[in-house]
């Protein structure tokens, strides 16, 4: 019965999701080119608010446990497990006061209305995972941008999405670049649960009735322990709350 409902609701969702991306693409362009960064940032916030709303058509619910006070006066490194692209809009919306910026593969920098525009012009980093000569300098420039502007770098150290919710081993290189070049940052571990269920059947039909849960853990200051210990600690904090 659930899968039948998924086939019925998925076209409605995809239509709404696609229209939101198309509508906000020119809105972003106008905000950025006519009014500057702050206006563009607001347009991206509301883009992701409406993307979240579109998933309600599938019966999706969200819980965002954010009980720790995180100052906006210093840079932040948000570290999270990765289960689907539906991890991203809630992080942007619910943590919007920190100006989240993403590390993304370069292929996403073109061809996707709204999303590609924001990745190219909103302060995120587009990297070629197969080319260290491009990716390391890009990460360094991204880190310096985050440090200078007191914004939030979002990184998914697993590298690729977990299609079953089971966490993958964290890669350390990207995190170490961020730690080195954002020495004033607070590391904020975030555990994501059930996002993978949005794609439990693949790209079509969409999963229905999913309850996506985000838990923001207590921040840890960069430099409070050495980098390897910090990465192990953050990985343990995140993964111990993953429900598989």
pLDDT in tens, 103-162: 998 999 999 999 999 999 999 999 987 777 788 899 999 999 999 999 999 999 997 788
Looking at residue 129, its pLDDT comes to: 78
The residues, ordered by sequence, that sit 6+ positions from 26 with a Cβ below 8 Å of its Cβ are none
Looking at residue 179, its pLDDT comes to: 97
Mean pLDDT of 213-230: 97
Q: Which is it for strands 125-127 and 61-65: parallel, antiparallel or unpaired?
A: unpaired
pLDDT digits over 164-212, tens only? 889 999 999 999 999 999 999 999 999 999 999 999 999 899 999 999 9
| The length of the chain, given as a count of residues | 244
Of the candidates 122, 113, 120, 68, the one whose C-alpha atom is nearest the C-alpha of residue 95 is 68
Looking at residue 163, its pLDDT comes to: 83
pLDDT digits over 71-118, tens only? 999 999 999 999 999 999 999 999 999 999 999 989 999 999 999 999
Of the candidates 199, 167, 196, 176, the one whose C-alpha atom is nearest the C-alpha of residue 81 is 167
Which DSSP state fits 228?
H
> Are 157 and 48 in contact, with CB atoms under 8 Å apart?
no
Looking at residue 241, its pLDDT comes to: 95
Cα dist from 236 to 97, 168, 190, whole Å:
26, 12, 11
Q: What is the pTM of this model?
A: 0.95
Architecture of domain 2-239 in this structure = 3-Layer(aba) Sandwich (3.40)
The residues, ordered by sequence, that sit 6+ positions from 94 with a Cβ below 8 Å of its Cβ are 64, 66, 214
Q: Which helix (H) or strand (E) holds 219?
A: none
Domain ranges of the chain: 2-239
In DSSP terms, which residues pair with 125 in a beta bridge? 103
Cα–Cα dist 120/165, whole Å: 29
Looking at residue 119, its pLDDT comes to: 97
């Amino acid at each position: 019965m659930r899968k039948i409902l998924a086939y019925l609701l998925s076209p409605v969702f995809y239509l709404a999701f696609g229209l939101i991306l198309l509508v906000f693409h020119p809105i972003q362009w106008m905000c950025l080119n006519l009014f500057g960064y702050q206006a563009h940032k607001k347009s991206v916030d509301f883009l992701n608010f409406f993307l979240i709303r579109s998933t309600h058509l599938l019966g999706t619910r969200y819980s965002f446990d954010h009980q720790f006070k995180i100052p906006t006066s210093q840079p932040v490194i948000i570290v999270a497990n990765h289960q689907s692209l539906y991890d991203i809009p809630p992080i942007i919306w619910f943590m919007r006061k920190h100006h989240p910026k993403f590390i993304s593969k370069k292929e996403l920098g073109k061809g996707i209305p709204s999303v590609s525009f924001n990745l190219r012009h909103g302060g995120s980093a587009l990297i070629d995972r197969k080319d260290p000569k491009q990716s390391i300098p890009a990460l360094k420039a991204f880190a310096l941008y985050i440090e200078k502007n007191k914004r939030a770098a979002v990184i998914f150290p697993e590298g690729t999405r977990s299609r079953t919710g089971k966490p993958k081993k964290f890669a350390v290189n990207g995190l170490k670049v961020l730690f080195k070049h954002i020495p004033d940052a607070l590391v904020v571990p975030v555990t994501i649960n059930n996002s993978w269920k949005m794609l439990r059947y693949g790209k079509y039909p969409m999963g229905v009735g999913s309850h996506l849960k985000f838990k923001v853990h207590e921040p840890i200051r960069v430099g409070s322990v050495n980098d390897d210990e910090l990465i192990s600690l953050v990985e343990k904090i995140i993964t111990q709350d993953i429900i598989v």
